[in-house]
A and B are shown apart, each in its own frame.
Chain A
Amino acid sequence: MEHPHQEERVHATEPVVEPGYTFSSVTDKISSIVLRRRTPLWWFAGFAVAFVLAQVLLLSITYLVFTGIGIFGTNVPVGWAMPIINFVWWIGIGHAGTLISAILLLLRQEWRTSINRFAEAMTLFAVACAGIYPVFHLGRPWLAYWLFPYPNTMNIWPQFRSPLMWDVFAVSTYGTVSALFWFIGLIPDFATLRDRARSRPFQWIYGMLAMGWRGSARHWARYEMAYLLLAGLATPLVLSVHTIVSFDFAIGIIPGWHATIFPPYFVAGAIYAGFAMVLLLTIPLRKLYGLEGFITDRHIDNMAKVMLATGLIVLYGYMMEAFFGYYSANQYESYMIHNRQFGPYWYYYWALIFCNGFTPQLLWFKFFRKNTVILWFIAVVVSIGMWLERFVIVITSLHRDFLPSSWGMYQPTIWDWSMFLGTLGLFFSLLFLFIRFLPMISIFEMRTILPQAEIEEEAA
């Protein structure tokens, strides 16, 4: 029987784990990355570079606190600049992790299994990097705790009408829930590592982290329920967190900021940037650790498709911004979009359209989704593009708004860049530590999707 779409259908049912793996070989493969004595040389090289950059972050923050935020290129019309751009960029990157671990779990997507642990770790580290900026872009960072509603001798509470206030709650809740979700996911794997570790100290450490997990049926029943509930909680959270981040701008009256499209468009952008980062990291990692059997071409292909889908939403956002700029018949709105396209920062805008609008269109073709080298470069371009998007939204809206007498320009200083490089260093330092000491693929979930786990169903 000839079916025109036979090939497609075969592809769709391609297993998410390469055939031939058993419970023990999966466990061996993943846990040996953590438990083996010798650390690969490239790990040391990578960690050294990342750690040096993390020191650049500490140095920048120290100089910043002692000198003041005047070391940044931020000025009076452009009161928000690189710190906020980088904050939104990092928060956005974190969102793919929650999408993979929570939303895809609710949708029962099996292919999430081999990437969710890694993506959740990425979320956590990205949130850690993002969390630095809201504190240290403050002129008086030592008073940042005033943002929390705690009973104090001043009888003062934070202003609950400010989206910056909501940011505090959004980001701290997001960080906490992500950490919880990640940790709960790790408990059965800690138990595996505990049982496989050969030296006493590691048995203790993994044993304490496993909290006495024995894997009884009662444990598992509650575990699955708790995990599902957390996924159900994390899903609205991931949508609301970036929505709240977008409110930072959309609540403002600035042309280019005051747009109702921002919440969904920011969330789509976050998932877009996040998936680009997951691809950016998984493509080299699966090569280095030989994990192609777990993170198969199907995973890469699916992630590229999600990236394409969210990239199209983002492109729609750019088109709507431009359309409504002119459609509004408001001179400030139309000037805003004209200024983006032809003003002093025109090259940022068009670079953004190139990176985020045109480049991902390649993902329509299977050739580019299959070719990991090209896909890796597309992910780099998208990451840069999403940084440019925040630059365009923040800077071009602020530097020219209502009063021509308060038009200015913005030029980042070396400290703007050193902070950004520093957070990249922090992110990669944490990531390197993660891949060395924790299982980067969820062992127990991998075991559940093996053909071996389906014996019962066949018998029934």
Chain B
Amino acid sequence: MPQIFHHSTNFLAKLSIFGAIFILIAATWVVAEINRSSWNTGQWVERQQPVQFSHKHHSGDDGIDCRYCHTSVETSSSAGMPPTKTCMNCHSQIWADSPYLAPVRESWRTGKPIEWVRVHDLPDYVYFNHSIHVKKGVGCSTCHGNVAQMPVVYQASSLQMEWCLQCHRNPEQFVRPEAEIYNMEWIPPANQEEAGAQLLKTYHIQPPNILTSCSTCHR
């Protein structure tokens, strides 16, 4: 009776075993990478807005404080989007004829709000409160990046739960003095660990078991 399998099958048999192990490991790695990629999280993606609003110009060049527009960031869960009226405070006079600002004037005339595209969009089963973070020493740039250098806003963080938890477990690595909250250029000092630990006491920041309990965010 002739041989059923050609001699080369020996190689195929070995290849299939090693190949299976390799493919399994590679597949696991690929899935983990895809989950964390900006394709999945939307990180680093510059969103086109109805008006080409530049944070770099308003905040970076003009030096307008964050709270001038995002008024409720210290008091409300939502930092708030400025209404058209805030724009018109200046732009009724400055660049009043610019075609660039036509949608703003259109909104002012008709009373129809500008339809900004939301860049940081958490799912609705997450309750996020801006005011508590701002009051407890988390600066804007820790989460949003250096917005003062962004011509178009993109999401600087993944906003994935593991990203939230790394701070809720070790807030001392991220908190800063009250005076530096709105400072976009702030970088952690060399003694951040000690300074941060001191700030935890100053701010009365709760221990990780409370900060990471489900009801903190998923209410």
Contacts and interface: CB of A to CB of B under 8 A. Distances in A.
Interface of A: 151-156, 194, 200, 203-204, 207, 211-212
B4 A154 contact: no
A156 B161 contact: yes
A155 B4 contact: no
B36 interface: yes
A207 B165 CA distance: 53
Contacts of B5: 204, 207
B160 A154 contact: yes
B183 interface: no
B32 interface: yes
Contacts of B13: 211-212
B15 to A, nearest CB: 14
18 contacts: A151-B32, A152-B162, A153-B36, A153-B158, A153-B160, A153-B161, A153-B162, A154-B160, A154-B161, A154-B162, A155-B161, A155-B165, A156-B161, A194-B4, A200-B4, A203-B4, A204-B4, A207-B5
Contacts of B35: 152-153
Interface of B: 4-5, 13, 32, 35-36, 158, 160-162, 165
A153 B158 CA distance: 10
B160 A207 contact: no
A239 to B, nearest CB: 31
Nearest to A200: B4
A109 B96 CA distance: 97
A153 B161 CA distance: 6
Contacts of B165: 155
A207 B162 contact: no
Contacts of A154: 160-162
Nearest to A206: B4
A203 B162 CA distance: 52
Contacts of B36: 153
A271 B5 CA distance: 43
A194 B161 CA distance: 54
Given A153-B162, A155-B161, A203-B4, 8 more contacts: A151-B32, A152-B35, A152-B162, A153-B160, A154-B160, A204-B4, A204-B5, A212-B13
A149 to B, nearest CB: 14
Chain B CB count within 10 A is highest, among A155, A211, A212, for A155
Contacts of A211: 13
Contacts of B158: 153
Contacts of A153: 35-36, 158, 160-162
Nearest to A204: B4
A156 B161 CA distance: 9
A153 B43 CA distance: 14
Nearest to B36: A153
Nearest to B169: A155
A154 B125 CA distance: 14
Given A151-B32, A153-B35, A153-B36, A207 B161 contact: no
Contacts of A204: 4-5
A155 B36 CA distance: 13
Contacts of A155: 161-162, 165
Nearest to A151: B32
B32 A207 contact: no
Contacts of A156: 161
A155 B35 CA distance: 13
A318 B36 CA distance: 53
Contacts of A152: 35, 162
A194 B1 CA distance: 12
Give the 6 A-B residue pairs with the shortest CB-CB distance, closest first.
A154-B161, A153-B160, A155-B162, A203-B4, A207-B4, A155-B165
Nearest to A197: B4
A176 to B, nearest CB: 15
A194 to B, nearest CB: 7
Contacts of A200: 4
Nearest to A203: B4
A207 B6 CA distance: 12
A178 to B, nearest CB: 21
B9 to A, nearest CB: 9
B33 to A, nearest CB: 11
B165 to A, nearest CB: 5
A200 B161 CA distance: 55
Contacts of B4: 194, 200, 203-204, 207
Nearest to A154: B161
A157 to B, nearest CB: 12
Contacts of B32: 151
Nearest to B32: A151
Nearest to B166: A155
A212 B13 CA distance: 10
B11 to A, nearest CB: 13
A207 B2 CA distance: 13
Nearest to A194: B4
B119 to A, nearest CB: 19
A171 B9 CA distance: 35
